A = this chain, B = another copy of it.
Amino acid sequence: MIVSALLTSVGINFAICVLYFTFYSILRKQPSYNHVYIPRLVAEGKTKKGNGDFHLDRLLPSTGWVRRAWQLSEDDLLSSTGLDAVVFMRIFTFSVKVFTVAGVIGICILLPINYFGTQIKASDFADIPNKSLDLFSIANVNDGSRRLWVHFCVVYFITAFVCYLLFIEYKYISSKRIAYFHASKPQPQQFTVLVRGVPVSRLGKFSESIGIFFTEYHPSTYLSHTVINTPSRIQSLIEQPAAFVSFKTRYGAAVASDMRQSDNPTEWVTEQAPEPRDVYWPFFSPSFMQRWISRLVVIVLSIVLTVLFLIPVVFVQGLTNLDKLKTLLPFLKGILNITFVSQVITGYLPSLILTLFLKIVPPIMMLFSSMQGFSSYSEIEKSACSKVLIFTVWNIFFANVLSGSAFNQLDTFLEPKNIPMKLAAVVPAQASFFIAYVVTNGWTSLSSEIFRVVPLLSTSLKNCVGSHDDEAPSLPFHSEIPRILFFGLLGLTYVFLAPLILPFLLAYFCVGYIIYRNQLLDVYEPRYETGGRLWPTVHNSTIFSLLLLQTIAIGMFGLKKLPVASTLIVPLLIFTLLFNEYCRKRFLPIFKSYSTESLVKKDRENQNDPTMPEFLEKLATAYRDPALKPNQESAGNHDHRTPLLSSA
């Protein structure tokens, strides 16, 4: 791709963004679109329904929403949207910090060095628009040049800087998570565990045997339990129920969920209960074996999906290599020779098609995760998030990189020792594609995020019919986080290869910061609160990006005939792995469970709270399948709840 093609793509997308933002700022002020642009406020009853009074400034674009989103403090965000949303926004602030520093280094130091190299051809200042973008990448630096040591230093500096920031962030979010727990009111999930694998008793009465078991082994803390009955045919086939067991203290519940209950590790399996609103009721309470097998099946399915997805990826890559296409479809030659058409096709179309294909992946991964036997939406979404992330990195990064230049060599790619060299040979060649991808997929995703095309159309339709539901949607973490993290991976990987990508990424993260803050306030209502459990995914993904950067650096310095630099990257790679291992030990346990210290302190706080007895009484009915509630009383045989509290 040449500079002018890139500029075309940037121009188109910039125009689309401006257009969307303008329309948004007008439509947002129309009360008839409240269900599209401020559904959260509508659901919370914070806005008037109806058309309201008409003012002229309702038709003029404005920037008030930008100022409001910018000025909002983190504490306000926390109180109005929860810790998960705050942690989500920390991905943006973290990325902005990283790519501001990386961008300054990349544009001010690396870009000139690359441009003044002579590996590709002697360069001059004239006719920049027709120059290949490769001139701005490391490919243009002469082999064995001493200037490559600058690139080497940048790899070291960026790794150290990112690790430092990662540590600070992990520490900060850990402390936020603990503070959040300490500030929380008594909540059912803190006092409850989910029990699965209840063994079949002689009498066949599960509810009784659950009561007997917990009265026997947790006499001082056991409170009550609710057997989960999914009145479906599948349930009746399985003959093994789950139950929510409530305890008198948080610590009691935590002990019951942390300790192995039964001599047989596949029976009486306990885990922390999710929030009542977060429970994924159709989870069928399968047995240990069934859950295990379904997990394996889901892994196989995910692999199949990943393999099948290579087909559109290969097709899309055909578009960036126009010459191939001309040979393949000669009748298109006339059209493809028109400059504008070819620029649109090489610069815009490939990533657009990819974007559309990628839209269907998150729902599929959600479906897969829901088959794994998770008991809550949050776990399903977290698992889907990881799946989508791996899928994205593999199918967008690796498949593109390989299909563009070395797809037939996939076989030789499987040899571990060749990976750095191969990556170094093929990754820089895809720089221009990924710049276009950032501009197209990234920028467009932001503008469509704020403009909300699909809800806009459906609401327009409903406006005609006249029916509305007042429910606000929740932020789809599983599709948004992988996309944002993937841009982070692109940035870190290309930071020393093709620094031209960095300003576009920085723009993405800055605008994204404003837009998602705005959406969290106006549009999305949290469906659950995990207390920032998504951060370890972000951390791991960033570590992976660093390792990828270093692996490519090892290969690149080898290719550029600077083997000493290549060898000297290895200690950095080992340092990164050790750093990650340290963080895993230092911070990860905080995101798994709360400590004795926190739990006991919190229990002490509530010891003399006069509202506690009432809360504990309500616990017994906190976990009820909403599908069962209407006919619960009549269908008495479904109601296995123990109505009485056990003796203290």
List residues of chain B with CB within 8 A of the CB of A216.
600
- Name the residue on B nearest A268 (C-beta): B597
Whether the Cβ atoms of A598 and B259 lie closer than 8 Å is no
Residue A254, interface by CB 8 Å:
yes
List residues of chain B with CB within 8 A of the CB of A69.
none
Give the interface centre of A260, A264, A415, A590 by most chain B CB atoms within 10 Å: A260
Stretch at the interface among A234-242, A374-382, A436-444, A578-586: A578-586
Residue A263, interface by CB 8 Å:
yes
CB A467 to nearest CB in B, in angstroms, measures 50
Whether the Cβ atoms of B265 and A587 lie closer than 8 Å is yes
Residue A217, interface by CB 8 Å:
yes
Q: A490-516 interface mask toward B, CB cutoff 8 Å, 1 = contact, 0 = none? A: 000000000000000000000000000
Top 9 closest A-B pairs, CB basis? Answer: A265-B589, A260-B595, A415-B415, A217-B600, A261-B596, A259-B596, A263-B595, A217-B596, A262-B597
Whether the Cβ atoms of B596 and A266 lie closer than 8 Å is no
A-B contact pairs, 8 of them (CB 8 A): A178-B263, A255-B259, A262-B596, A265-B590, A266-B585, A266-B586, A292-B581, A415-B415
Whether the Cβ atoms of B414 and A414 lie closer than 8 Å is no
- Contacts A414-B416, A414-B417, A415-B415; is A263 near B597 (CB within 8 Å)? yes
Whether the Cβ atoms of B260 and A589 lie closer than 8 Å is yes
CB A368 to nearest CB in B, in angstroms, measures 19
Residue A288, interface by CB 8 Å:
yes
List residues of chain B with CB within 8 A of the CB of A588.
265
Measured in the bound complex, the distance between the Cα atoms of B265 and A165 in whole Å is 20
Residue A258, interface by CB 8 Å:
yes
List residues of chain B with CB within 8 A of the CB of A416.
414-416
Q: A562-603 interface mask toward B, CB cutoff 8 Å, 1 = contact, 0 = none? A: 000000000000000010011001111110010111101000
- Name the residue on B nearest A256 (C-beta): B596
Residue A104, interface by CB 8 Å:
no
Residue A296, interface by CB 8 Å:
yes
- Name the residue on B nearest A593 (C-beta): B260
List residues of chain B with CB within 8 A of the CB of A296.
578
List residues of chain B with CB within 8 A of the CB of A582.
292
Name the contact of A259 in the complex, choosing from B288, B585, B595 (C-beta under 8 A): B595
Name the contact of A263 in the complex, choosing from B265, B268, B590 (C-beta under 8 A): B590
Give the interface centre of A259, A415, A585 by most chain B CB atoms within 10 Å: A259
Name the contact of A265 in the complex, choosing from B259, B260, B586 (C-beta under 8 A): B586
Interface extent on A, as a size class? 35 or more
- Name the residue on B nearest A415 (C-beta): B415
Whether the Cβ atoms of B415 and A217 lie closer than 8 Å is no
List residues of chain B with CB within 8 A of the CB of A597.
217, 261-263, 268
- Name the residue on B nearest A582 (C-beta): B292
List residues of chain B with CB within 8 A of the CB of A595.
259-263, 265
List residues of chain B with CB within 8 A of the CB of A254.
259
CB A536 to nearest CB in B, in angstroms, measures 13
List residues of chain B with CB within 8 A of the CB of A264.
586
Measured in the bound complex, the distance between the Cα atoms of B534 and A184 in whole Å is 45
CB A445 to nearest CB in B, in angstroms, measures 37
List residues of chain B with CB within 8 A of the CB of A581.
292
List residues of chain B with CB within 8 A of the CB of A266.
585-586
Whether the Cβ atoms of B178 and A596 lie closer than 8 Å is no
Q: A260-280 interface mask toward B, CB cutoff 8 Å, 1 = contact, 0 = none? A: 111111101000000000000
List residues of chain B with CB within 8 A of the CB of A292.
581-582, 585
Q: A417-429 interface mask toward B, CB cutoff 8 Å, 1 = contact, 0 = none? A: 1000000000000
Measured in the bound complex, the distance between the Cα atoms of B260 and A582 in whole Å is 17
* Chain A, 161-177, CB within 8 A of any chain B CB: none
- Name the residue on B nearest A213 (C-beta): B597
- Name the residue on B nearest A174 (C-beta): B263
* Chain A, 289-333, CB within 8 A of any chain B CB: 292, 296
Whether the Cβ atoms of B178 and A265 lie closer than 8 Å is no
CB A70 to nearest CB in B, in angstroms, measures 33
Measured in the bound complex, the distance between the Cα atoms of B258 and A258 in whole Å is 7
List residues of chain B with CB within 8 A of the CB of A263.
178, 590, 595, 597-598
Give the interface centre of A265, A288, A415 by most chain B CB atoms within 10 Å: A265
Measured in the bound complex, the distance between the Cα atoms of B174 and A263 in whole Å is 9
11 additional contacts (CB under 8 A) given A260-B595, A292-B585, A414-B416: A178-B263, A258-B258, A259-B595, A259-B596, A261-B595, A261-B596, A264-B586, A265-B587, A265-B589, A266-B586, A296-B578
- Name the residue on B nearest A592 (C-beta): B260
CB A15 to nearest CB in B, in angstroms, measures 50
List residues of chain B with CB within 8 A of the CB of A260.
589, 593, 595-596
List residues of chain B with CB within 8 A of the CB of A587.
265
CB A17 to nearest CB in B, in angstroms, measures 44
Name the contact of A258 in the complex, choosing from B259, B414, B417 (C-beta under 8 A): B259
List residues of chain B with CB within 8 A of the CB of A586.
264-266
List residues of chain B with CB within 8 A of the CB of A265.
585-590, 595
CB A225 to nearest CB in B, in angstroms, measures 16
- Name the residue on B nearest A587 (C-beta): B265
Measured in the bound complex, the distance between the Cα atoms of B264 and A292 in whole Å is 32
CB A182 to nearest CB in B, in angstroms, measures 10
